[in-house]
Structure 1
Amino acid sequence: MGSGCNRRHVALLAFPFGTHAAPLFSLARALATATPSAGEVSFTFLTSARSAASLGTATCPPNLRIFEVSDGRPEEHASTVEQLVGRFMAATPGNFESAMEAAVGATGGLRFTCLISDAFLWFVGEMAAGMEVPWVALWTGGPSSLSAHLHTDLLRGKFGVEEKDASLDEDLGFIRGLSGLRIRDLPDGITSGDVTGKFSQLVHMMGRKLPTADAVVFNSFQGLNSDLDLDLTSKLKKTIPIGPIHLWDPTESRPDRFNCVQWLDQIGPATVVYISFGTHVNLQPPELAELAEGLEASGFLFLWSLKDSAKEHLPAGFLDRTKDRGLVVPWVPQVEVLAHAAVGAFVTHGGWNSVLESITGGVPMVCRPFLGDQMMNARAISHVWKVGARFEGGAMKKDEVVRVLGRVVEEEEGRMMRERMRGLKEIAVRAVRAGGSSVQNLESLVEMVVGR
């Protein structure tokens, strides 16, 4: 065991909403596993009790502990996401500071030597400055939306903060790496929507503060967009792409209770449409019915991850009529499904984790974006990388479902999408092989945070 002055204590502060905590916890496990014995380097992961319960902690390294922070919400009070985030941010940074003091006490008074946080928690930079330790931020979304947040003041100066039809289709090519994306693809709160809301203010401040971070880590890989890589490098002190994270830190396996993979094993290559909109997106009943009618009319085989509570909104008799060519289940092992040769298209909301999982599976996407970075991701998929399509005009309609699925699964255009997707897959997989760019970047991050 090293002397006390050489010991390190790293705090990881999570944003405990949506899918934000999981990538940070993956990073925590990777850092803890890669560092010396528990006596040399300690890691403290700080998140809410609800968030902690959703993380797989069975394989937690011995030098990594989880400490709970208050999320600022009364147990009995149901709230909107905006209200929940507002309450949580109102409780910060005091809730984190209290938990951090408890963690210091639990390690025998070992003070923190580095703070790593979700990028949304911009105030951690000020905490780190006061403690005279490095601040490392993790961006969990797509790199194009990170660029948009870094350029918010530029975008508002050029376009204002009111939605103007005349400028919605203007190309963002004046920002390096964003060519092919449009004003209408920007996340809500940058130049349109509720720009004064709590969440919009949070991400605006984040965009201003991230350039002060000692490093910004993100779940992507070098070569996906070289121009964007260069732009981010010019705006930030240090950029560290370490993705795709799911390739080097797979989630703890859960039994395939509904035999999805076994069902796919009986089917020919690139013929199944897989549908999932993630854990937190719930289609409105009319749109869900239109999607179901489109799937039925298309004639394609399909695997649909759909909560049991939503099945009541399916068209009458849909499950019976499609039982010989469709499987509708409440949970799917998504990474394994997207890696299966039978899957020919992925209907998705375009969340960044799903995008990366589809890339590494080599499956073209059909996007129905809803919020956040999903619009930018969907546009990149359909018009920049050209590895998929998107439903235009908002909610899905039966006839468009039939038309778009036909393009991707059956037509020559879909074959070209799969070919381009194979190229992206190879770049992604190469990044996490021994000696790959993401592996080297993770090693440099270990050296940075523990002072090796």
Structure 2
Amino acid sequence: MEGKPSLCETQVSNVLVFPFPIQGHINPMLQFSKRLASKGLRVTLLAITSTNKPMQLSESSINIEPIEFEEGENVAGVDDYLDLYTTIIPGKLAKLIEKKKSSQHPIKFLVYDSGSPWTLDVARSAGIDAAPFFTQSWAVNAIYYHFHKGTLKLPLEQPVVKLPSMPALEVSDLPSFVRDTEAYPGLGNLVRSQFTNLEEASLVFCNTLDMLEDEVIRWMSSYKPIKTIGPTLPSIYLDKRLEDDKDYGINLFKPDTDACIKWLDSKEPASVVYISFGSLAALGEEQMEEIALGLKRSNKFFLWVVRETEQKKLPTNFVEEALEKGLVVSWSPQLRVLAHKAVGCFITHCGWNSTLEALSLGVPMVAMPQWTDQPTNAKFVEDVWKVGIRVRVDKHGIIKKEEIERCVREVMEGEKSLDIKSNSESWKKLIKEAVDEGGSSDRNIDEFVAKIICK
């Protein structure tokens, strides 16, 4: 798709986009980069490359600039990785910016992952303006903001949390890094540090849309201008205005595409339960067995993504015994699966990208959150957007087979199913309008591009 001509200058403006190097953060910022490039900007995505965790990116509409990061042998876990990352990468980024300042395509702006707030200081030191990109929902961001400011303190004095422009939240609805600050201290500090210098940024990007979170966005916009630019799905699943934008362009695992689509093609519309808990979640053996038994009890067709490292947790002979009703794969082309007419329900961990994909494609959800932002997203799925049902755990933290069966049946055939399906279709329509020409997210991107071109 050709970009809009510049009214202010003939020289192409170069924007750097700097995501945090995990797939759930790269995907939305890569898609945002494609949108910026389609509107006439020269976009360079800075990709952290590591021999330990190779990640292939191939995208013709934008430039990919590698930043090498060798972890070494002493990185024992996530916290060690983050310590090393924040020690080494700022200096490498500063050198790269300095080198590019003298190129034929001068840098006009840097968009960085909100989890790396130090990037703003690096950019400003180089004489470049910058803005954070929040990859999670604004409701979750607002909770972290209140926690950072001290207006949300734990333990709670009341059974529910009441925050401005938010529904009443129970402790179980809060992000895990707020509920338990001792678990994964490195990751917890990362998400809680996003607001350390936010007041210095001129604007904020967020992978959401105005109507989806209108109240909390309006409240936060009184403090800092927020540009909602999402959802950041490939264009073919939304407005279809970007040619050849059919996939994110990045996969940690190879999807069993042919097997999934061929199997789905043989099923009736809205007859299949799709189950996936993303690339990180690791469920216990007992929980895996309860899900398997719950799927059997529901008597529905199912397509279940179980990573190779997790398949040993399945009940003995489950895959073979389930052949009549189900298909178990190690990875799937999730967007193609959710867009398939045969899928009628999505059992999801409610990661923000998966939640946005289901909302954008009109797929009702059974919310089964695990950690991080997922409990808050699940709260909104059930009680605010009303596009699904959240599972209830027993006193030992396990979702029993009876609960799995209940939720699947309720979403696909129960009393609430018609309302859930209707709400899902309504959000699908509103989301398409937001990203289509003249929609709220499209206008926000246009306004940013005009600012950069005329800067």
> 1:212-227 to 2 correspondence within 5 Å?
212-227=200-215
- Which one is further off, 141-150 or 184-193? 184-193
> 1:264-343 to 2 correspondence within 5 Å?
264-343=264-343
The alignment partner of 1:346 has SS state of strand
> 1:51-70 to 2 correspondence within 5 Å?
54-57=55-58, 59-61=59-61, 64-70=62-68
> 1:71-82 to 2 correspondence within 5 Å?
71=69, 73-74=71-72, 76-77=73-74, 79-82=76-79
Is the 1:180–1:383 contact (alpha carbons within 8 Å) kept by the matching residues of 2? no
Code of the aligned partner of 1:48: I
> 1:52-131 to 2 correspondence within 5 Å?
54-57=55-58, 59-61=59-61, 64-71=62-69, 73-74=71-72, 76-77=73-74, 79-104=76-101, 107=103, 111-131=106-126
Counterpart of 1:38 in structure 2 is none
Code of the aligned partner of 1:67: E
Counterpart of 2:172 in structure 1 is 184
Deviation (angstroms), 1:104: 4.4
Deviation (angstroms), 1:397: 2.1
> 1:251-270 to 2 correspondence within 5 Å?
251=247, 257-270=257-270
Counterpart of 1:358 in structure 2 is 358
Is the 1:56–1:252 contact (alpha carbons within 8 Å) kept by the matching residues of 2? no
Deviation (angstroms), 1:193: 2.2
Determine if the alignment matches structure 1 residue 171 to structure 2 residue 161.
yes
Is the 2:207–2:231 contact (alpha carbons within 8 Å) kept by the matching residues of 1? yes
Is the 2:19–2:113 contact (alpha carbons within 8 Å) kept by the matching residues of 1? yes
RCO comparison, higher one (Cα < 8 Å, 6+): 2
Task: Specify whether residues 284 and 71 from structure 1 end up closer, same or farther in structure 2 by C-alpha distance, changes over 3 A only.
Answer: farther
The alignment partner of 1:428 has SS state of helix
Deviation (angstroms), 1:301: 0.8
Cα distance between partner residues in 2 of 1:192 and 1:255 = 34
> 1:209-248 to 2 correspondence within 5 Å?
209-236=197-224, 238-248=225-235
Deviation (angstroms), 1:353: 0.8
The alignment partner of 1:214 has SS state of coil
Cα distance between partner residues in 2 of 1:319 and 1:7 = 54
Deviation (angstroms), 1:303: 0.6
Deviation (angstroms), 1:78: 5.7
Is the 1:118–1:137 contact (alpha carbons within 8 Å) kept by the matching residues of 2? yes
Cα distance between partner residues in 2 of 1:132 and 1:308 = 47
Cα distance between partner residues in 2 of 1:250 and 1:209 = 36
Deviation (angstroms), 1:111: 4.8
Task: Specify whether residues 432 and 5 from structure 1 end up closer, same or farther in structure 2 by C-alpha distance, changes over 3 A only.
Answer: closer
Counterpart of 2:131 in structure 1 is 136
Cα distance between partner residues in 2 of 1:196 and 1:349 = 19
TM-score, length basis structure 1: 0.87
> 1:372-411 to 2 correspondence within 5 Å?
372-393=372-393, 394-411=397-414
Deviation (angstroms), 1:192: 3.6
Structure 1 unmatched runs, 5+? 36-40
Identity %: 28
Deviation (angstroms), 1:27: 1.9
Code of the aligned partner of 1:182: E
Task: Specify whether residues 201 and 5 from structure 1 end up closer, same or farther in structure 2 by C-alpha distance, changes over 3 A only.
Answer: farther
Counterpart of 2:181 in structure 1 is 193
Q: Deviations over 1:8-46 (max 9, x none)?
A: 3322222113411222122223223322xxxxx643322
Task: Specify whether residues 306 and 294 from structure 1 end up closer, same or farther in structure 2 by C-alpha distance, changes over 3 A only.
Answer: same
Q: Deviations over 1:214-251 (max 9, x none)?
A: 22111111211221221121121x21111121142541
TM-score, length basis structure 2: 0.86
Deviation (angstroms), 1:125: 1.8
Which of 192, 200, 225 in structure 2 is aligned with 1:204? 192
Is the 2:17–2:110 contact (alpha carbons within 8 Å) kept by the matching residues of 1? yes
Counterpart of 2:153 in structure 1 is 159
Cα distance between partner residues in 2 of 1:398 and 1:217 = 41
Cα distance between partner residues in 1 of 2:233 and 2:147 = 30
Structure 2 unmatched runs, 5+? 1-5, 236-244
Q: Deviations over 1:137-181 (max 9, x none)?
A: 111111111111222244x34534xx45x64x4133x321x2143
Cα distance between partner residues in 1 of 2:405 and 2:298 = 5
The alignment partner of 1:259 has SS state of helix
Deviation (angstroms), 1:416: 1.5
Is the 1:67–1:99 contact (alpha carbons within 8 Å) kept by the matching residues of 2? no
Counterpart of 1:22 in structure 2 is 27
The alignment partner of 1:403 has SS state of helix
Deviation (angstroms), 1:362: 1.1
Determine if the alignment matches structure 1 residue 433 to structure 2 residue 436.
yes
Alignment: residue pair count: 433
Q: Deviations over 1:37-79 (max 9, x none)?
A: xxxx64332221149953531x323xx43232244511x4563
Task: Specify whether residues 446 and 53 from structure 1 end up closer, same or farther in structure 2 by C-alpha distance, changes over 3 A only.
Answer: farther
Cα distance between partner residues in 1 of 2:439 and 2:430 = 10
The alignment partner of 1:189 has SS state of helix
Code of the aligned partner of 2:146: H
Code of the aligned partner of 1:54: M
Deviation (angstroms), 1:4: 11
